[in-house]
Amino acid sequence: MSQSEKTKGKLIRSAKKIFSEKGFWDTKVSDIVKDAGVAQGTFYLYFKSKDEIFKELVLEIRNHIIEIIDKYKNADENIIKTLIDLKSEILEYLYQNKEIARIFLFQLFTKEELMQIYFETLNYIEDFDKNLIQKGVAKGVIKYPDVENIINIILGYGRRLFETEVLLKGKPLDEVKKIQKEGIQIIFKGIS
């Protein structure tokens, strides 16, 4: 790895850490460079601005989530299994990247542009879920017809699970996966 790649990496690692702890506004560029062990000027060799590095982190999550979903785009196993597997994989990614996950969930709501990225990503998930649920309704496996509302239950649950069980309580991944699976099964029982 070249020197410059190393330095940029250090800056990104420090930025993730500090943005996730203190949020965008309370994080000073001077905090990031101090943590990374480089000078203020060095930061600007790698990033145009504080805004830019922040956006880069946010896009990293968005892109990864979209990638995961795309893998499932042509899965045609049974509906509930697909959903459980997908949610489990997203959970795992967020679990392994708690810092940027925290940024994504909590720190995007003051900048219009970042909110758009957030909602765009959410929409992508919603569309996938909607498609899946609609198949279930068509097949008659799912009796409750308000697809939007089902998605509200599922997505609301997913977010909350990550917030409380992972971020607040710090439960291990396997346990949270198991809980999530149960939760989804319960929801499916409810709409059957």
Tell me if 25 contacts a second copy by CB under 8 A. Answer: yes
DSSP codes of every residue in 133-187: HHHHHHHTS-----HHHHHHHHHHHHHHHIIIIIIIT---HHHHHHHHHHHHHHH
Out of 116, 156, 172, 173, the only residue in the binding site for a second copy (CB under 8 A) is 156
Out of 9, 21, 45, 127, the only residue in the binding site for DNA (CB under 7 A) is 45
Q: Which stretch binds a second copy (CB under 8 A): 43-51, 61-69, 74-82, 149-157?
A: 149-157
Q: Give the pair of three-digit tokens for residue 23.
A: 């949020």
Q: Taking a C-beta distance cutoff of 8 angstroms, is the pair 56, 64 a contact? A: no
Give which of a second copy, DNA, none residue 116 binds (C-beta under 5 to 8 Å, depending on kind): none
Neighbours of 148 (CB within 10 A): 9
Tell me if 167 contacts DNA by CB under 7 A. Answer: no
Q: Give the pair of three-digit tokens for residue 164.
A: 């409380």
Number of residues in contact with a second copy, rule: CB under 8 A? Answer: 34
State in angstroms the smallest separation of the CB of 143 from a second copy: 10
Tell me if 38 contacts DNA by CB under 7 A. Answer: yes
CA distance 41 to 39: 5
Q: Taking a C-beta distance cutoff of 8 angstroms, is the pair 134, 140 a contact? A: no
Q: Which stretch binds a second copy (CB under 8 A): 63-71, 77-85, 90-98, 108-116?
A: 108-116
Tell me if 26 contacts a second copy by CB under 8 A. Answer: yes
Out of 1, 3, 74, 112, the only residue in the binding site for DNA (CB under 7 A) is 3
Neighbours of 17 (CB within 10 A): 16
Tell me if 191 contacts a second copy by CB under 8 A. Answer: yes
Q: Give the pair of three-digit tokens for residue 191.
A: 């709409």
In degrees, rounded to 5, the angle at the alpha carbon of residue 27 between the alpha carbons of residues 26 and 32 is: 165
CA distance 89 to 69: 9
Q: Which stretch binds DNA (CB under 7 A): 13-21, 30-38, 85-93, 130-138?
A: 30-38
Q: In the complex, which residues of this chain contact DNA (CB under 7 A)?
A: 2-4, 6-7, 27-30, 37-45, 49-51
